[in-house]
């Protein structure tokens, strides 16, 4: 007779750098249901808008996450700029796009390494992170920081990158893509990787949409939705289309992220070719009054910043909906029927960022 038990997974677990807990209801080795608990490290950062000047708050927004920090700051700035009708100079928009894509590359490489570690491929983990270091070096050379850039501000950006340096970065990344192709090929072709990912945690496109999934989780189920198509920053002048896969399993989610790194390299190359000369910031005058929903595409998917201002230097409300929060229901949907040993990989395939979620 089948025995039903509840196995706690997390909040401390070898594959989880941050705390999330699942109560796994299992019959023998098969998961029947998963019930999540979060909120172990909730920081209440949203409420700080009532205490910080709206221009100073960019620093707090960037610290919501230590991986996609730049895009958090940029999305916040985008929301405030729309309320105040500030026109950001084109050069600043291109620089924002370049730093966003560098963030995407290093975030995906972080995820690839962690996933390789989760399914026991240690050397692949090390190679993924070795390549990530090279991207972090570019970020450090252009912003002065490795994960917290501090380069975005309301009205533009704080730092410029010389055109010659941009061309060098684009050329470096082209060489880098050749080196990365070898690592990406292991993720896509290696038999042991496929055995751990193919057919595991299948999510249909219809379910992904109904459960509110975003980012690679949604695109790996065949839905070509990418917030960069909203043409914020310089994306309206860049030629790209969303990377998708049809299978909806863990391999498809890995495949989307592997291919998005090549796409990001291509976007940075286009930016280096097209970036116009000119100012990098617009002077901010007045105080914000109004409300706006800013949506951008983080490495993990769509992030939303709801900004509400009342004509004072402090915002009335900031609400941040992070992609990991949106992907939790889809993760719960793919758990039933999987084997207990697959749970760490399945949790990782949404690329969970609890720091964002516990903003």
Partner 1 sequence: MIEPQDLRETTLERLIGEVQEFRDAGYRLVQIGATRTEGFEINYSFDRDLKFVNLKIKIADNSVEIPSISGVYWNAFLYENEIHDLFGLKIRNIKIDYRGTFYKVAKPAAFAEKPAAPAARKRAAKPAAGTEVSET
Chain residues that interact with partner 1, rule: CB under 8 A? 35, 37-40, 42, 44, 46-47, 50-51, 82, 209-212, 225, 227, 229-232, 236, 291-295, 302, 304, 306, 308, 312-314, 316-317, 319, 321, 325-326, 328-329
**In this structure, what are the phi and psi dihedrals at residue 21, rounded to the nearest 5 degrees?**
-125, 140
**In this structure, what are the phi and psi dihedrals at residue 302, rounded to the nearest 5 degrees?**
-65, 130
C-beta separation of 340 from 21 below 8 A: no
For residues 145 and 290, which CB has a smaller minimum distance to partner 1 in the complex?
290
The residue with tokens 């996933």 is 115
Least CB distance to partner 1 at residue 355 (A): 15
For residues 165 and 332, which CB has a smaller minimum distance to partner 1 in the complex?
332
Least CB distance to partner 1 at residue 145 (A): 29
Could you give the 3-state DSSP secondary structure of residue 17? coil
For residues 4 and 313, which CB has a smaller minimum distance to partner 1 in the complex?
313
For residues 190 and 291, which CB has a smaller minimum distance to partner 1 in the complex?
291
For residues 113 and 216, which CB has a smaller minimum distance to partner 1 in the complex?
216
Least CB distance to partner 1 at residue 302 (A): 8
Least CB distance to partner 1 at residue 331 (A): 11
Least CB distance to partner 1 at residue 339 (A): 24
H helix count then E strand count, the chain: 12, 8
For residues 39 and 276, which CB has a smaller minimum distance to partner 1 in the complex?
39
Phi-psi region of 8 (alpha: psi -120 to 50; beta: other; left: phi over 0): beta
For residues 231 and 274, which CB has a smaller minimum distance to partner 1 in the complex?
231
Tell whether the torsion through CA atoms of 331, 334, 337 and 341 is positive or negative. Answer: negative
C-beta separation of 258 from 245 below 8 A: no
112 sits in which H/E element: helix 90-118
Least CB distance to partner 1 at residue 223 (A): 9
Least CB distance to partner 1 at residue 225 (A): 7
DSSP codes, 267-324: HHHHHHHHPPPS-SB----S--EEEEEEEEEETTEEEEEEEEEESSSSEEEEEEE-HH
For residues 41 and 171, which CB has a smaller minimum distance to partner 1 in the complex?
41
Helix boundaries (H) for 190-288:
191-197, 205-210, 216-219, 250-274
Tell whether the torsion through CA atoms of 338, 341, 344 and 348 is positive or negative. Answer: negative
Least CB distance to partner 1 at residue 243 (A): 17
C-beta separation of 351 from 224 below 8 A: no
């Amino acid at each position: 007779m089948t025995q039903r038990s509840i196995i706690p997974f997390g909040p401390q677990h070898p594959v989880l750098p941050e705390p999330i807990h699942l109560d796994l209801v299992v019959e023998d080795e098969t998961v029947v249901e998963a019930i999540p608990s979060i909120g172990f490290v909730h920081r209440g950062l949203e409420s700080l808008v009532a205490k910080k000047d709206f221009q100073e708050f960019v620093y707090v927004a960037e610290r919501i996450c230590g991986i996609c920090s730049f895009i958090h700051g940029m999305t916040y700035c985008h929301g405030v700029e729309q309320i105040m009708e500030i026109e950001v100079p084109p050069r600043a928009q291109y620089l924002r796009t370049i730093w966003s894509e560098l963030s995407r590359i290093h975030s995906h490489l972080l995820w690839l390494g962690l996933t390789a570690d989760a399914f026991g491929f240690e050397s692949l983990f090390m190679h993924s992170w070795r390549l990530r270091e090279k991207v972090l070096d570019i970020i450090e050379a252009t912003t002065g920081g490795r994960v917290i850039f501090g380069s975005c501000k309301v009205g533009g950006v704080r730092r410029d990158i010389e055109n010659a340096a941009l061309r060098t970065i684009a050329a470096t990344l082209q060489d880098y893509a050749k080196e990365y192709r070898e690592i990406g090929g292991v993720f896509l072709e290696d038999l042991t990787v496929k055995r751990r990912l193919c057919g595991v945690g299948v999510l249909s496109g219809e379910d992904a949409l109904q459960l509110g999934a975003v980012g690679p989780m949604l695109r790996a189920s065949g839905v070509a939705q990418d917030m960069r198509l909203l043409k914020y920053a310089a994306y309206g002048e860049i030629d790209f289309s969303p990377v998708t896969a049809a299978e909806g399993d863990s391999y498809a989610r890995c495949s989307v992220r592997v291919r998005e790194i090549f796409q990001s390299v291509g976007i940075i190359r286009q930016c280096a070719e097209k970036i116009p000369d000119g100012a990098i910031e617009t002077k901010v005058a007045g105080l914000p009054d109004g409300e706006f929903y800013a949506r951008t595409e983080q490495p993990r998917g769509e992030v939303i910043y709801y900004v509400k201002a009342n004509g004072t230097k402090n915002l009335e409300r900031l609400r941040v909906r992070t992609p990991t929060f949106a992907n939790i229901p889809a993760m719960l949907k793919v758990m039933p029927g999987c084997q207990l040993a697959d749970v760490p990989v399945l949790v990782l395939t949404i690329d969970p960022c609890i720091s964002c979620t516990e903003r």
